[in-house]
Structures are given as structure tokens and as C-alpha cells.
Amino acid sequence: MTDVTVEQDPTATVKKILTVQIRGKCGSVDIDPEKITDDAMYEFIFKTGLDTLVNKVGMAKIATGVTKLSGAEADKRKAEVLKQAQENVEAIYAGTLKGARAATKVTGAVNTEAMRLAKAMVKDLLRNNGYKIGAFDAKELTAYAKDVLAANPDLIKKAEANLAERAAAPVKGIDLKKMLGAHADDESMKAKPKVPPKPKAKGEKVAMSAKQAGLVAPRAKPTAPLAH
């Protein structure tokens, strides 16, 4: 994979807001790190996070039961655990720690817009470095755009802002019915509203598929010997 580097305005500042999911699916809260001004609290939060990451990733198998071991076997296992912890620290420094990326739910529309922005940045970068866009197929450009999007998560925020701006600014000077002509009143061309599935009542039988309904029921085995 070709490395793609995107130059950003060094004077631009992006405020980071962290979203924490509340246990029990009770919602979430947003936290502004800049408002954590107490040094002791900041250090406690930081060390708590590091304790979780360093002692969790890759430790499930090698750290379990280590306190029950003794002698040479205990020394060997402790060395493996320490080695994994050191590797986790290096991965934290490099930003490659497995499972450390926060899972962010992005709608299809936002992701599509973010990919459009990323592809535009890739094409500009290629042109500015003397490459022909036509020399790359769509699959390659998409792969490069995914790399750019992964390295520039702020594009998601930009995409959300773009969609919000479009929704707030109606298209001017265009009569939709006039533009569509005969298609304007064609109900078959309109998207059907999504209807949530009807919840099943307790004890209600699951409907069989057409294929299942057409199957012949297996013949029951005789319960008594046949008379001769």
C-alpha cells in the first residue's frame, strides 16, 4: 500500500470532545479534556487508562493464573507478561495498540461524504506530485482514500458539517416537478418508508417460509409392531 500523507494547516486547532458510553446502555456523556484543569485528577485519569491498556491487551492467556504458579514456571510466565506489557507500551507510543481505537458509529451518509472528501484530497495530492489520476483504478483510489480517512478522523466532523449545511440550505431556482417531468407523480419511483418489524406476541408461532410449507411432513414411526 502506498503511503499517502495529507498536509493540514498547522495553525488550525481542533477541539477534541471525548464521548464515554454509560454502562447498561443508559446513554453517553461528552467530556472536554480542556476542562480537566486539576493536575492530580488529570494524572489519575491518565494512569487509570494506561493501567487498563497495558494490563489488558494480549494478557488474557498469559496473565491468567500467574499468581498460582511457583518456581521456574512462575518466573517464565512473569517474564512473558512483562514482555507483553512492554510491547503494549511501544504500541501506545506508535498509536497501533490493538483494540485501542474508539468505536464510532458513523451513518452511511456521513461515511459517503467523508470518503468523497478523502478521495478529493488523494487526487489533489497525486496531481500536485505529478501523477495522472487516470493511471490509478477506482479500487486503488478508494484504498488510498481509506488510508487518508483513517489518518484524518477530523474528516468525519467535516462531513457531518457539510451534510448539516446542505440540509439547512434549500436548493434555489429549481422546480423539482418541472425537472422530473412525467416522473414527478410516479409513486413507484419513490422510496418506501422503513417500517419496523412487528413484535411477536408471546407464544406466537413463527411463520414458515414457502419452501418449508411445501415440504411433506416425515412419516411417523410406528409405535407398536405391525400385525402379520
- Per-residue pLDDT at 102 exceeds 60: no
Nearest to 117 by CA among 151, 150, 158, 168: 158
Report the chain's mean pLDDT, rounded to a whole number.
Answer: 79
- Per-residue pLDDT at 109 exceeds 80: yes
Q: What is the pLDDT of residue 2?
A: 45
The pLDDT of 98-110, averaged and rounded, is 67
- Per-residue pLDDT at 47 exceeds 50: yes
Phi, psi of 191 (to 5 degrees): -70, 140
Between residues 124 and 63, the one the model is more confident about: 124
Whole-number percent of the chain with pLDDT over 90: 28
Q: What is the pLDDT of residue 192?
A: 74
The pLDDT of 55-76, averaged and rounded, is 88
Judge residue 121's burial from the number of C-beta atoms within 10 Å of its C-beta, 0-12 exposed, 13-18 middle, 19 or more buried.
buried
* Measured distance CA(49)–CA(56) in Å, rounded: 11
Long-range pairs of 6-14 with CB within 8 A, sequence gap ≥ 24 = 6/121, 6/125, 6/148, 6/151, 6/152, 8/152, 14/154, 14/157
Between residues 105 and 147, the one the model is more confident about: 147
Run of H or E including 21: strand 18-21
Q: What is the pLDDT of residue 5?
A: 46
pLDDT band at 100 (very low <50, low <70, confident <90, very high): low
Least confident span in 83-87, 154-158, 181-185: 181-185
Q: What is the pLDDT of residue 19?
A: 81
Q: What is the pLDDT of residue 59?
A: 85
* Measured distance CA(177)–CA(179) in Å, rounded: 5
Instruction: Please state whether 173 falls in left (phi above 0), alpha (psi between -120 and 50) or beta.
Output: left
Strand residues in 27-156 grouped as ranges (E): 28-31
Report CA-CA distances (Å) from 109 to 80, 152, 191, 199.
45, 18, 16, 28
- Is the CB of residue 42 less than 8 Å from the CB of residue 36? yes
Q: What is the dihedral of CA 101, 107, 112, 115, to 10 degrees?
A: -10
Express each pLDDT in 127-172 by its tens digit.
Answer: 999 999 999 999 999 999 988 888 888 888 899 899 888 887 766 7
Judge residue 91's burial from the number of C-beta atoms within 10 Å of its C-beta, 0-12 exposed, 13-18 middle, 19 or more buried.
middle
Q: What is the pLDDT of residue 8?
A: 47
